[in-house]
Amino acid sequence: MSSSSVIYMETGSTDPYYNLAFEEYVLTNHLEGNYLLLWQNDNTIVVGQNQNTIEEINLEFVREHHINVVRRTTGGGAVYHDLGNLNYSFISDAGDSSEMNRQQFVVPVVDALKGLGLDACASGRNDILVSGCKVSGTAQRIYNGRILHHGTLLFDADPSMIAGALQVDPLKFQSKGVRSVRSRVGNIRNFLSKDMTINEFWDYLIRSLSRTDFHIEDLDHEEKQKVSELRESKYSTWEWNFGRSPEYQFVNKQKWEGGILEIRTSVEKGYIQDITFYGDFLSLKPLTPLQKQLCGCPYQREEVQKILELQQLNHLFGTITEEQILTTLFDNL
């Protein structure tokens, strides 16, 4: 975030469908200024935009515990939210997105945690650790010259719910040296030398993450109505959160340094009829346009490569490369 005055907003809700609609509305309609949003979701799994929801959640556990499920518009993996979890969103000008630096958003959060005497650091693609345990995951999205960077902060979340609700791919742990989500995550409150409530933590973050002068704004009645409409038309729908699950002839999956990539493809008479990319890679833009371009393409490495060469792949797949995409798609056959 730049050093200019920060506009601070709260959603006034713990409804995950409304909160994500609120965040999207601010990103797509408030096109000037630096925004900080702090918000909470009650009892919710939030899946990344490119994930196959059914494969990421323990459906029986989710139903038994009445857990909400919602898809966000950024990449990365599935996370569990409850009222012991605090979420933050930075929205500002993207600048030259090819030079975009995730650190400009991560550093203020790490510094805020260090300000509480915690041993905090950024780690890997998108994690923030305290004393070696993950307390935050982050993701980004670009829209019309603006960037949304948001993340979770586990303050006093229920670890049994985190472990029970998420059905994590064993590939995630191959290079992490841990055996489960539960052994990998931690709550910030457990590391504090002087205890504080989540409301006190919230107040501290407003001051710390703003870093300078801030003023509070709210959406007006008409804008809140539009947020509610977006909630109903998008974020609360089965189509958005679970989507269709067509039959695929080919399902190929690889773990790369940039994340897990799964490609499901239907092929008829040598041509791609349907293709979907799943994974926890850190995309900045939707993959739908690329998937549409690939439909009708000959199912041949060289032909798919021609289409990939026309894309800004770092916006679509993070650090996963063209060669890694092609390897995933063709080398497992």
- Domain parsing of the chain, residue ranges: 6-241, 250-330
Residue 159's pLDDT band (cuts 50, 70, 90): confident
| Long-range Cβ contacts of 155-158 (<8 Å, 24+ apart) | 155/84, 155/85, 155/86, 155/187, 155/188, 155/189, 155/198, 155/201, 156/84, 156/187, 156/188, 156/189, 156/198, 157/80, 157/81, 157/82, 157/84, 157/85, 157/187, 158/82, 158/84
pLDDT, one tens digit per residue, over 51-97 is 988 888 898 899 999 999 999 999 998 999 999 999 999 999 987 65
Residue 2 scores a pLDDT above 70: no
Residue 169's pLDDT band (cuts 50, 70, 90): low
pLDDT, one tens digit per residue, over 180-235 is 344 478 999 999 999 999 999 999 999 999 877 889 999 999 999 999 999 999 99
Q: Is 19 helix (H, G, I), strand (E, B) or coil?
A: helix
Say what the pLDDT of residue 5 is: 85
Confirm whether pTM is higher than 0.75.
Answer: yes
Residue 30 scores a pLDDT above 50: yes
> Are 6-241 and 250-330 in the same CATH fold?
no
pLDDT, one tens digit per residue, over 7-28 is 999 999 999 999 999 999 999 9
Give per-residue burial for 200-233: e unless 16+ CB within 10 Å, then b. Answer: ebbeebbebbbbeebeeeebeeeebeebeebbee
Question: Is residue 88 within 8 Å of 10, Cβ to Cβ?
Answer: no
Residue 243 scores a pLDDT above 90: no
Q: What is the CATH number of domain 250-330?
A: 3.30.390.50
Fold of the CATH domain 6-241: BirA Bifunctional Protein; domain 2 (3.30.930)
Measured CA to CA, the distance from residue 178 to residue 198 in angstroms comes to 28
Strands 68-71 and 44-47: parallel
Report the chain's mean pLDDT, rounded to a whole number: 90
Question: Is residue 43 within 8 Å of 11, Cβ to Cβ?
Answer: no
